[in-house]
Chains A and B, each alone.
Chain A
Amino acid sequence: MSILPLFQNIFAPPRDLILIILAAWIGLTLSERGAPGHPVNLDALNNLLLASLGGFLIGGRLLYALENFPTFSQSPGSIFSLNTALFDQWGGLAIAVLAGLAYGRRAHLPLWDSLDVLTPLFAALAIGIALSHLASGAAFGKETNVPWAVEQWGALRHPTQLYETIAALVTLAVILIQKPAAGPGFEFLLFVALSSASRLVLEGFRGDSTLILGGLRAAQIAAWFILLGALIGLDQRGSPGQAKGARVRARSGK
Protein backbone atom coordinates (compact mmCIF):
# COMPACT_ATOMS: atom_id res chain seq x y z
CA MET A 1 0.00 0.00 0.00
CA SER A 2 1.43 3.40 -0.92
CA ILE A 3 1.77 6.18 1.66
CA LEU A 4 -1.27 8.29 0.73
CA PRO A 5 -3.93 5.52 0.94
CA LEU A 6 -2.32 4.28 4.17
CA PHE A 7 -2.44 7.81 5.60
CA GLN A 8 -6.08 8.15 4.50
CA ASN A 9 -7.00 4.84 6.13
CA ILE A 10 -5.29 5.65 9.40
CA PHE A 11 -6.76 9.15 9.64
CA ALA A 12 -10.14 8.56 8.00
CA PRO A 13 -12.90 10.71 9.58
CA PRO A 14 -13.51 11.15 12.44
CA ARG A 15 -9.88 10.27 13.22
CA ASP A 16 -8.70 13.18 11.06
CA LEU A 17 -9.41 15.38 14.09
CA ILE A 18 -6.30 13.82 15.67
CA LEU A 19 -4.22 15.66 13.08
CA ILE A 20 -5.72 19.00 14.09
CA ILE A 21 -5.19 18.29 17.79
CA LEU A 22 -1.59 17.22 17.10
CA ALA A 23 -1.00 20.40 15.08
CA ALA A 24 -2.46 22.49 17.91
CA TRP A 25 -0.07 20.86 20.39
CA ILE A 26 2.97 21.48 18.14
CA GLY A 27 1.79 25.03 17.44
CA LEU A 28 1.38 25.79 21.13
CA THR A 29 4.88 24.51 21.80
CA LEU A 30 6.29 26.72 19.05
CA SER A 31 4.32 29.72 20.31
CA GLU A 32 5.57 29.24 23.87
CA ARG A 33 9.11 28.91 22.60
CA GLY A 34 8.87 32.20 20.72
CA ALA A 35 7.04 34.07 23.47
CA PRO A 36 10.05 35.42 25.46
CA GLY A 37 10.75 37.99 22.72
CA HIS A 38 7.35 39.61 23.28
CA PRO A 39 5.92 41.64 26.18
CA VAL A 40 3.15 39.12 26.84
CA ASN A 41 2.23 37.26 30.02
CA LEU A 42 2.21 33.60 28.98
CA ASP A 43 -0.16 32.47 31.73
CA ALA A 44 -2.68 35.11 30.72
CA LEU A 45 -2.28 34.08 27.09
CA ASN A 46 -2.91 30.42 27.97
CA ASN A 47 -6.07 31.49 29.82
CA LEU A 48 -7.11 33.46 26.73
CA LEU A 49 -6.70 30.32 24.63
CA LEU A 50 -8.81 28.34 27.09
CA ALA A 51 -11.52 31.02 26.98
CA SER A 52 -11.44 30.96 23.16
CA LEU A 53 -11.58 27.16 23.04
CA GLY A 54 -14.53 27.14 25.43
CA GLY A 55 -16.24 29.83 23.35
CA PHE A 56 -15.62 27.83 20.19
CA LEU A 57 -17.02 24.56 21.54
CA ILE A 58 -19.97 25.93 23.47
CA GLY A 59 -20.76 28.75 21.04
CA GLY A 60 -20.59 26.49 17.98
CA ARG A 61 -23.00 24.00 19.49
CA LEU A 62 -25.40 26.61 20.90
CA LEU A 63 -25.54 28.52 17.62
CA TYR A 64 -26.22 25.31 15.70
CA ALA A 65 -29.01 24.46 18.15
CA LEU A 66 -30.51 27.93 17.73
CA GLU A 67 -30.32 27.68 13.93
CA ASN A 68 -32.16 24.33 14.14
CA PHE A 69 -34.36 25.19 17.08
CA PRO A 70 -37.50 23.26 15.97
CA THR A 71 -35.41 20.09 15.64
CA PHE A 72 -33.60 20.49 18.94
CA SER A 73 -36.81 21.36 20.77
CA GLN A 74 -38.04 17.82 19.95
CA SER A 75 -34.94 16.23 21.46
CA PRO A 76 -33.30 18.78 23.80
CA GLY A 77 -30.83 16.19 25.09
CA SER A 78 -29.14 16.27 21.67
CA ILE A 79 -27.45 19.50 22.69
CA PHE A 80 -25.03 17.33 24.69
CA SER A 81 -24.51 14.88 21.82
CA LEU A 82 -20.95 13.93 20.90
CA ASN A 83 -21.80 14.24 17.17
CA THR A 84 -19.33 16.77 15.81
CA ALA A 85 -21.65 17.45 12.86
CA LEU A 86 -24.06 19.28 15.20
CA PHE A 87 -21.82 22.30 15.12
CA ASP A 88 -21.68 25.72 13.50
CA GLN A 89 -17.96 26.05 12.75
CA TRP A 90 -17.98 29.68 11.60
CA GLY A 91 -20.31 30.71 14.40
CA GLY A 92 -18.06 28.91 16.89
CA LEU A 93 -15.04 30.68 15.46
CA ALA A 94 -16.75 34.07 15.80
CA ILE A 95 -17.63 33.34 19.44
CA ALA A 96 -14.05 32.14 20.06
CA VAL A 97 -12.66 35.42 18.71
CA LEU A 98 -15.10 37.45 20.82
CA ALA A 99 -14.28 35.42 23.94
CA GLY A 100 -10.56 35.83 23.28
CA LEU A 101 -10.88 39.57 22.74
CA ALA A 102 -12.98 39.98 25.88
CA TYR A 103 -10.52 38.01 28.00
CA GLY A 104 -7.50 39.78 26.46
CA ARG A 105 -9.03 43.16 27.25
CA ARG A 106 -9.77 42.14 30.80
CA ALA A 107 -6.27 40.73 31.32
CA HIS A 108 -4.68 43.81 29.65
CA LEU A 109 -2.93 41.68 27.03
CA PRO A 110 -1.44 43.75 24.18
CA LEU A 111 -3.46 42.73 21.10
CA TRP A 112 -0.82 42.74 18.37
CA ASP A 113 1.94 41.25 20.50
CA SER A 114 -0.42 38.49 21.65
CA LEU A 115 -1.33 37.74 18.04
CA ASP A 116 2.37 37.61 17.15
CA VAL A 117 3.01 35.08 19.91
CA LEU A 118 0.06 32.98 18.73
CA THR A 119 1.04 33.11 15.05
CA PRO A 120 3.03 29.81 15.07
CA LEU A 121 -0.06 28.17 16.61
CA PHE A 122 -2.27 29.51 13.81
CA ALA A 123 0.27 28.44 11.17
CA ALA A 124 0.56 24.93 12.65
CA LEU A 125 -3.24 24.66 12.83
CA ALA A 126 -3.38 25.50 9.12
CA ILE A 127 -1.09 22.51 8.46
CA GLY A 128 -3.30 20.29 10.62
CA ILE A 129 -6.43 21.40 8.78
CA ALA A 130 -4.75 20.79 5.40
CA LEU A 131 -3.69 17.30 6.52
CA SER A 132 -7.22 16.57 7.75
CA HIS A 133 -8.48 17.55 4.30
CA LEU A 134 -5.94 15.18 2.79
CA ALA A 135 -7.15 12.37 5.05
CA SER A 136 -10.87 12.97 4.53
CA GLY A 137 -10.82 13.94 0.86
CA ALA A 138 -12.51 17.26 1.60
CA ALA A 139 -11.45 20.47 -0.18
CA PHE A 140 -10.83 18.40 -3.31
CA GLY A 141 -9.49 19.64 -6.63
CA LYS A 142 -11.13 20.19 -9.99
CA GLU A 143 -10.70 17.70 -12.79
CA THR A 144 -7.42 17.90 -14.67
CA ASN A 145 -5.01 15.98 -16.86
CA VAL A 146 -1.77 17.27 -15.30
CA PRO A 147 0.79 14.47 -14.76
CA TRP A 148 0.54 14.77 -10.97
CA ALA A 149 -3.27 14.47 -10.91
CA VAL A 150 -4.74 12.05 -8.36
CA GLU A 151 -7.75 9.78 -8.70
CA GLN A 152 -10.37 11.07 -6.30
CA TRP A 153 -14.16 11.08 -6.17
CA GLY A 154 -14.53 9.43 -9.56
CA ALA A 155 -12.13 11.60 -11.57
CA LEU A 156 -8.50 12.66 -12.00
CA ARG A 157 -8.14 15.83 -9.95
CA HIS A 158 -5.68 18.46 -8.81
CA PRO A 159 -4.25 17.25 -5.45
CA THR A 160 -5.38 20.48 -3.80
CA GLN A 161 -5.01 19.05 -0.31
CA LEU A 162 -1.31 18.46 -1.02
CA TYR A 163 -0.95 21.98 -2.44
CA GLU A 164 -2.65 23.28 0.70
CA THR A 165 -0.34 21.28 2.98
CA ILE A 166 2.80 22.46 1.17
CA ALA A 167 1.62 26.09 1.25
CA ALA A 168 0.88 25.84 4.99
CA LEU A 169 4.30 24.26 5.66
CA VAL A 170 6.05 27.03 3.71
CA THR A 171 4.03 29.66 5.61
CA LEU A 172 5.07 28.18 8.97
CA ALA A 173 8.70 28.01 7.84
CA VAL A 174 8.65 31.68 6.78
CA ILE A 175 7.05 32.67 10.09
CA LEU A 176 9.68 30.78 12.07
CA ILE A 177 12.73 32.02 10.19
CA GLN A 178 11.76 35.68 9.73
CA LYS A 179 13.44 38.21 12.02
CA PRO A 180 11.05 40.27 14.17
CA ALA A 181 12.45 43.64 13.08
CA ALA A 182 9.17 45.48 12.49
CA GLY A 183 6.37 46.70 14.75
CA PRO A 184 3.95 44.59 16.81
CA GLY A 185 1.59 42.57 14.64
CA PHE A 186 4.12 42.03 11.85
CA GLU A 187 4.38 38.25 12.31
CA PHE A 188 0.62 37.83 12.51
CA LEU A 189 -0.04 40.03 9.47
CA LEU A 190 2.68 38.21 7.54
CA PHE A 191 0.91 34.93 8.34
CA VAL A 192 -2.43 36.39 7.26
CA ALA A 193 -0.93 37.74 4.03
CA LEU A 194 0.78 34.45 3.15
CA SER A 195 -2.28 32.36 4.05
CA SER A 196 -4.73 34.55 2.13
CA ALA A 197 -2.41 34.70 -0.88
CA SER A 198 -2.08 30.93 -0.97
CA ARG A 199 -5.85 30.52 -0.58
CA LEU A 200 -6.39 33.01 -3.40
CA VAL A 201 -4.13 30.98 -5.68
CA LEU A 202 -5.09 27.45 -4.60
CA GLU A 203 -8.85 28.05 -4.58
CA GLY A 204 -8.59 28.34 -8.36
CA PHE A 205 -7.75 24.64 -8.50
CA ARG A 206 -10.59 23.53 -6.21
CA GLY A 207 -13.55 21.49 -7.39
CA ASP A 208 -15.88 22.40 -4.54
CA SER A 209 -15.83 26.18 -4.57
CA THR A 210 -18.89 28.20 -3.74
CA LEU A 211 -19.55 30.14 -6.94
CA ILE A 212 -21.02 33.63 -7.16
CA LEU A 213 -21.53 36.28 -9.85
CA GLY A 214 -21.34 33.93 -12.83
CA GLY A 215 -18.58 31.60 -11.72
CA LEU A 216 -16.32 33.70 -9.49
CA ARG A 217 -15.11 31.78 -6.45
CA ALA A 218 -16.38 33.39 -3.23
CA ALA A 219 -13.35 32.27 -1.19
CA GLN A 220 -10.97 33.92 -3.64
CA ILE A 221 -12.76 37.24 -3.36
CA ALA A 222 -12.75 37.04 0.44
CA ALA A 223 -9.04 36.07 0.37
CA TRP A 224 -8.23 39.04 -1.90
CA PHE A 225 -9.79 41.52 0.53
CA ILE A 226 -8.05 39.89 3.50
CA LEU A 227 -4.75 40.04 1.59
CA LEU A 228 -5.37 43.73 0.87
CA GLY A 229 -5.91 44.44 4.58
CA ALA A 230 -2.85 42.42 5.58
CA LEU A 231 -0.62 44.19 3.04
CA ILE A 232 -1.79 47.61 4.28
CA GLY A 233 -1.06 46.52 7.86
CA LEU A 234 2.37 45.20 6.88
CA ASP A 235 3.12 48.42 5.04
CA GLN A 236 2.32 50.46 8.16
CA ARG A 237 4.51 48.22 10.30
CA GLY A 238 7.31 48.35 7.78
CA SER A 239 7.46 52.15 8.00
CA PRO A 240 10.59 53.61 9.68
CA GLY A 241 8.68 55.01 12.66
CA GLN A 242 7.10 51.70 13.53
CA ALA A 243 10.29 49.73 13.03
CA LYS A 244 12.22 52.18 15.21
CA GLY A 245 9.57 51.86 17.90
CA ALA A 246 9.83 48.10 17.73
CA ARG A 247 13.59 48.20 18.05
CA VAL A 248 13.41 50.53 21.08
CA ARG A 249 10.86 48.21 22.65
CA ALA A 250 13.05 45.17 21.98
CA ARG A 251 16.11 46.89 23.49
CA SER A 252 14.25 47.91 26.62
CA GLY A 253 13.02 44.33 26.98
CA LYS A 254 9.36 45.37 27.33
Chain B
Amino acid sequence: MQPILRRSLSGIILLAGLAWIFASADQSNSATAGRIPAPQKGFLAPDFRLATPDGRSIALTDYLGKGVLINLWATWCPPCRAEMPVIEKLYQAYQDQGLIVLAVNSTVQDDPTAISPFIRQYGITFPVLLDINGEASTLYELRSLPTSFFIGRDGVIREVVVGGPMSEALLRTNIEEILK
Protein backbone atom coordinates (compact mmCIF):
# COMPACT_ATOMS: atom_id res chain seq x y z
CA MET B 1 0.00 0.00 0.00
CA GLN B 2 1.26 3.47 -0.89
CA PRO B 3 2.33 5.57 2.12
CA ILE B 4 -0.12 8.37 1.25
CA LEU B 5 -3.00 5.91 1.01
CA ARG B 6 -1.93 4.20 4.22
CA ARG B 7 -1.74 7.47 6.13
CA SER B 8 -5.09 8.63 4.76
CA LEU B 9 -6.66 5.37 5.90
CA SER B 10 -5.08 5.74 9.37
CA GLY B 11 -6.39 9.32 9.57
CA ILE B 12 -9.91 8.21 8.63
CA ILE B 13 -9.80 5.42 11.25
CA LEU B 14 -8.66 7.85 13.95
CA LEU B 15 -11.27 10.46 13.02
CA ALA B 16 -14.01 7.81 12.99
CA GLY B 17 -12.76 6.66 16.40
CA LEU B 18 -12.98 10.20 17.78
CA ALA B 19 -16.50 10.58 16.37
CA TRP B 20 -17.52 7.28 17.98
CA ILE B 21 -16.11 8.36 21.36
CA PHE B 22 -18.41 11.39 21.35
CA ALA B 23 -21.37 9.57 19.77
CA SER B 24 -21.26 6.78 22.36
CA ALA B 25 -20.69 9.08 25.35
CA ASP B 26 -22.92 8.17 28.27
CA GLN B 27 -24.44 11.53 29.21
CA SER B 28 -27.34 9.94 31.10
CA ASN B 29 -24.86 7.99 33.24
CA SER B 30 -26.71 4.82 32.30
CA ALA B 31 -23.86 2.66 33.57
CA THR B 32 -25.55 0.72 36.38
CA ALA B 33 -25.20 3.39 39.11
CA GLY B 34 -27.11 1.21 41.51
CA ARG B 35 -30.49 1.64 39.87
CA ILE B 36 -31.26 -2.00 39.13
CA PRO B 37 -31.26 -4.79 41.70
CA ALA B 38 -28.79 -7.46 40.56
CA PRO B 39 -26.12 -9.57 42.29
CA GLN B 40 -23.21 -7.74 40.70
CA LYS B 41 -20.75 -5.09 41.82
CA GLY B 42 -22.20 -1.61 41.23
CA PHE B 43 -25.83 -2.74 41.36
CA LEU B 44 -28.45 -2.38 44.04
CA ALA B 45 -28.40 -5.46 46.29
CA PRO B 46 -31.61 -7.47 45.65
CA ASP B 47 -33.87 -7.48 48.68
CA PHE B 48 -35.08 -10.64 50.41
CA ARG B 49 -36.88 -11.57 53.60
CA LEU B 50 -35.89 -14.77 55.39
CA ALA B 51 -36.48 -16.41 58.75
CA THR B 52 -33.86 -17.07 61.43
CA PRO B 53 -33.66 -20.44 63.22
CA ASP B 54 -35.45 -18.86 66.21
CA GLY B 55 -38.37 -17.73 64.03
CA ARG B 56 -37.57 -14.02 63.54
CA SER B 57 -38.06 -12.52 60.09
CA ILE B 58 -35.29 -10.34 58.67
CA ALA B 59 -35.16 -8.37 55.41
CA LEU B 60 -32.08 -6.89 53.83
CA THR B 61 -33.77 -3.49 53.64
CA ASP B 62 -34.06 -3.50 57.44
CA TYR B 63 -30.37 -2.56 57.41
CA LEU B 64 -30.32 0.24 54.86
CA GLY B 65 -27.81 2.82 56.07
CA LYS B 66 -25.47 0.16 57.44
CA GLY B 67 -22.63 -1.72 55.80
CA VAL B 68 -23.85 -5.26 55.18
CA LEU B 69 -21.89 -8.43 54.51
CA ILE B 70 -24.08 -11.17 53.06
CA ASN B 71 -22.32 -14.52 53.36
CA LEU B 72 -23.97 -17.46 51.60
CA TRP B 73 -22.85 -20.70 53.22
CA ALA B 74 -23.65 -24.29 54.17
CA THR B 75 -22.59 -26.45 57.11
CA TRP B 76 -21.00 -29.11 54.89
CA CYS B 77 -18.84 -26.60 53.00
CA PRO B 78 -15.21 -26.64 54.34
CA PRO B 79 -14.22 -23.10 53.21
CA CYS B 80 -17.47 -21.77 54.73
CA ARG B 81 -16.50 -23.35 58.05
CA ALA B 82 -12.95 -22.05 57.76
CA GLU B 83 -13.96 -18.41 57.28
CA MET B 84 -16.72 -18.26 59.92
CA PRO B 85 -14.39 -17.57 62.90
CA VAL B 86 -12.75 -14.65 61.07
CA ILE B 87 -16.13 -13.22 60.08
CA GLU B 88 -17.26 -13.45 63.70
CA LYS B 89 -14.04 -11.81 64.92
CA LEU B 90 -14.43 -8.90 62.51
CA TYR B 91 -18.15 -8.58 63.23
CA GLN B 92 -17.21 -8.07 66.88
CA ALA B 93 -14.61 -5.50 65.86
CA TYR B 94 -16.75 -3.49 63.45
CA GLN B 95 -20.38 -3.82 64.57
CA ASP B 96 -20.14 -0.59 66.57
CA GLN B 97 -19.19 1.20 63.35
CA GLY B 98 -22.35 -0.07 61.63
CA LEU B 99 -21.39 -3.49 60.24
CA ILE B 100 -24.11 -6.09 59.85
CA VAL B 101 -23.38 -9.66 58.83
CA LEU B 102 -26.22 -11.71 57.39
CA ALA B 103 -25.14 -15.34 57.13
CA VAL B 104 -27.60 -16.80 54.66
CA ASN B 105 -27.56 -20.56 55.01
CA SER B 106 -28.33 -22.25 51.71
CA THR B 107 -30.77 -24.51 53.55
CA VAL B 108 -32.15 -25.83 50.29
CA GLN B 109 -28.87 -27.76 49.93
CA ASP B 110 -28.06 -28.25 53.61
CA ASP B 111 -29.16 -30.37 56.55
CA PRO B 112 -31.47 -28.11 58.63
CA THR B 113 -30.72 -30.05 61.82
CA ALA B 114 -27.01 -29.26 61.51
CA ILE B 115 -27.46 -25.48 61.53
CA SER B 116 -28.12 -24.75 65.21
CA PRO B 117 -25.21 -26.94 66.43
CA PHE B 118 -23.01 -25.16 63.87
CA ILE B 119 -24.01 -21.74 65.24
CA ARG B 120 -23.21 -22.88 68.79
CA GLN B 121 -19.94 -24.53 67.78
CA TYR B 122 -18.61 -21.40 66.10
CA GLY B 123 -20.12 -18.97 68.62
CA ILE B 124 -21.87 -17.00 65.87
CA THR B 125 -23.53 -13.84 67.18
CA PHE B 126 -24.68 -12.27 63.89
CA PRO B 127 -28.03 -13.18 62.30
CA VAL B 128 -28.17 -16.51 60.51
CA LEU B 129 -30.95 -16.71 57.92
CA LEU B 130 -32.48 -19.86 56.47
CA ASP B 131 -32.88 -19.94 52.72
CA ILE B 132 -35.28 -22.86 52.83
CA ASN B 133 -36.72 -22.51 49.32
CA GLY B 134 -33.54 -21.23 47.71
CA GLU B 135 -35.10 -17.81 47.14
CA ALA B 136 -32.03 -15.78 48.13
CA SER B 137 -29.67 -18.28 46.45
CA THR B 138 -31.58 -17.81 43.17
CA LEU B 139 -31.82 -14.03 43.62
CA TYR B 140 -28.06 -13.82 44.16
CA GLU B 141 -27.31 -16.35 41.37
CA LEU B 142 -25.37 -18.55 43.78
CA ARG B 143 -23.02 -20.88 41.89
CA SER B 144 -20.29 -21.57 44.44
CA LEU B 145 -20.17 -21.78 48.23
CA PRO B 146 -19.24 -19.65 50.01
CA THR B 147 -20.08 -16.43 48.17
CA SER B 148 -19.97 -13.06 49.89
CA PHE B 149 -21.51 -9.73 48.94
CA PHE B 150 -20.19 -6.52 50.51
CA ILE B 151 -22.94 -3.91 50.44
CA GLY B 152 -22.42 -0.22 51.13
CA ARG B 153 -24.60 1.99 53.30
CA ASP B 154 -26.47 3.08 50.16
CA GLY B 155 -27.51 -0.52 49.40
CA VAL B 156 -25.15 -0.84 46.43
CA ILE B 157 -22.93 -3.92 46.12
CA ARG B 158 -19.29 -2.85 46.42
CA GLU B 159 -17.61 -6.24 46.03
CA VAL B 160 -18.48 -9.85 45.34
CA VAL B 161 -16.14 -12.59 46.55
CA VAL B 162 -16.83 -16.03 45.12
CA GLY B 163 -15.21 -18.93 46.95
CA GLY B 164 -13.23 -19.01 50.11
CA PRO B 165 -12.07 -19.06 52.75
CA MET B 166 -11.65 -15.30 52.77
CA SER B 167 -8.53 -14.13 54.53
CA GLU B 168 -8.71 -11.58 57.33
CA ALA B 169 -7.08 -8.93 55.13
CA LEU B 170 -9.62 -9.43 52.36
CA LEU B 171 -12.49 -9.16 54.83
CA ARG B 172 -11.04 -6.10 56.56
CA THR B 173 -10.33 -4.29 53.28
CA ASN B 174 -13.88 -4.77 52.04
CA ILE B 175 -15.55 -4.12 55.37
CA GLU B 176 -13.71 -0.83 55.76
CA GLU B 177 -14.78 0.07 52.24
CA ILE B 178 -18.49 -0.51 52.88
CA LEU B 179 -18.41 1.36 56.18
CA LYS B 180 -17.09 4.57 54.56
Residues of A within 8 A of B (CB): 9, 12-15, 65, 68, 71-72, 74-75, 77-79, 81, 83, 85-86, 137, 140, 142-143, 153-155, 197, 200-201, 203-209, 211, 214-217, 220-221, 223-224, 227-228, 231, 234-235, 238-239
Q: List 10 A-B contacts (CB under 8 A).
A: A15-B144, A81-B169, A83-B170, A85-B161, A85-B170, A137-B40, A154-B43, A208-B31, A224-B21, A228-B14
Q: Cβ of A208 and Cβ of B173 under 8 Å apart? A: no
Contact between B162 and A13 (Cβ–Cβ < 8 Å)? yes
Question: Out of A155, A204, A207, A231, which one reaches B23, CB within 8 Å?
Answer: A204
Q: How many residues of B contact A (CB 8 A)?
A: 44
Given contacts A78-B170, A155-B36, A200-B20, contact A143 B30 (CB under 8 A): yes
Question: Known contacts A154-B43, A224-B21, A227-B13; is A75 also within 8 Å of B168 by CB?
Answer: yes
Assess whether A217 is in contact with B25, with CB atoms less than 8 Å apart: yes
B153 CB-CB contact with A under 8 Å: no
A31 to B117, CA, bound (A): 56
Chain B residues near A221 (CB-CB < 8 A): 21
Which of A12, A68, A86, A142 is close to B30, meaning CB atoms less than 8 Å apart?
A142
In the assembled complex, the Cα of A193 lies from the Cα of B51 at a distance in Å of 55
Report the bound CA distance from A227 to B20 in whole Å: 14
CA of A220 to CA of B25, assembled, Å:
10
A142-B31, A207-B30, A209-B31 as given contacts; A239 in contact with B3, CB under 8 Å? yes
Q: How far is the CB of A100 from chain B (nearest CB, A)?
A: 28
Q: Does B49 contact A (CB under 8 A)?
A: no
